[in-house]
Structure 1
Amino acid sequence: MRFAAKAVGMLVTTGAIMTAALVNASAASAVPPPCAGYATSNLDGGYGVMKGSYNLKKGPYAGHCANVARLGSGRVMYFHCWVKNRHGHLWVFGRVKGTRTYGWMSIDNFRTIRHTNYETCRANADRDHL
């Protein structure tokens, strides 16, 4: 009888620990990715030409980060640096030619990419990951 009581107690404890772990994992995945916090020095001399009309973003995430501006097909963007976001997508930070407008654009939105070295953006000191 004592063995059965101990076994039930261990199962209850194990279940409670597993539930707590799942709750913590869900909370961690619910934290949105950063839209700011990148050191974006001009480390890349390349540029790209837009293949369609796409939003320039405040961070390297399409669904999460706010829009800066809408860039039409044929617009040129000068590259400063690159990151691969948490979803594995490559994004570039840069400036829109002829403007003082800066932001992030997915590599998927360019029809032409020239002279880039794909230099990685550096995380700011207060961030330990991109």
Structure 2
Amino acid sequence: MRFGTKTVGMLVTAGAIMAATLVNGPAASATPSPCYAYNSSISNLDGGYGVMKGSYNLKKGPYADRCGNVARLGKGRVIYFHCWVKNGRGNLWVYGRVKGTGTYGWMSIDNFSSIRHSNYETCRPNADRDHT
């Protein structure tokens, strides 16, 4: 069986790529942004609250497409703010508790019709935070 120069070159290149992958591991893909599950005992750093302008999902983290849902909140529901983060896409999210419940989660600032008395205090990394 005769191999042409191009065939041998392709086999050598493929072998080199496979060897590099075995030594170095596969090429790193973009690391997805984390969803944060905050313990409800986290310090309440913000005395403000917001009123929902429509029906939106309260999220497990500060990303609508990457983080699971906690609950669906309807128009007019109030969330008491605990703290804020700007996610990796530059969007501002608040962590808080739904008024009249023990339900905590994340909501985008875009989903509020009004925000009252907020100081936009940044969530501080601490032992209460678990990555999920």
TM-score after normalising by structure 2: 0.72
Structure 1 stretches lacking a partner, 5+ long: 1-11
Against the structure 1 CA distance between its residues 123 and 37, is the aligned structure 2 distance closer, same or farther, given a 3 Å change threshold?
Answer: farther
Opposite residue 35 of structure 2, the aligned amino acid is C
CA distance in 1, matches of 2:94, 2:58: 10
CA distance in 2, matches of 1:64, 1:76: 24
Match of 2:105 among 98, 103, 106: 103
Opposite residue 114 of structure 2, the aligned amino acid is T
* Structure with higher helix content: 1
Q: Which residue of 1 aligns with 2:34?
A: 34
Against the structure 1 CA distance between its residues 126 and 112, is the aligned structure 2 distance closer, same or farther, given a 3 Å change threshold?
Answer: closer
Q: Which residue of 2 aligns with 1:63?
A: 65
Q: CA RMSD in A?
A: 2.6
Sequence identity of aligned pairs in percent? 75
CA shift at 1:41, angstroms? 1.9
Structure 2 stretches lacking a partner, 5+ long: 1-12, 18-23
CA shift at 1:126, angstroms? 9.9
Q: Deviations over 1:63-116 (max 9, x none)?
A: 011100000000000000000000100000000000000000000000000000
CA shift at 1:124, angstroms? 2.7
Match of 1:52 among 51, 54, 68: 54
Larger radius of gyration: 2
Q: Deviations over 1:25-65 (max 9, x none)?
A: x3xx1x22111265742000000000000000011010011
TM-score after normalising by structure 1: 0.73
CA distance in 2, matches of 1:53, 1:73: 5
CA distance in 1, matches of 2:45, 2:63: 21
Alignment of 1:1-130 (within 5 A): 23-24=27-28, 26=29, 29=30, 31-36=31-36, 40-124=42-126
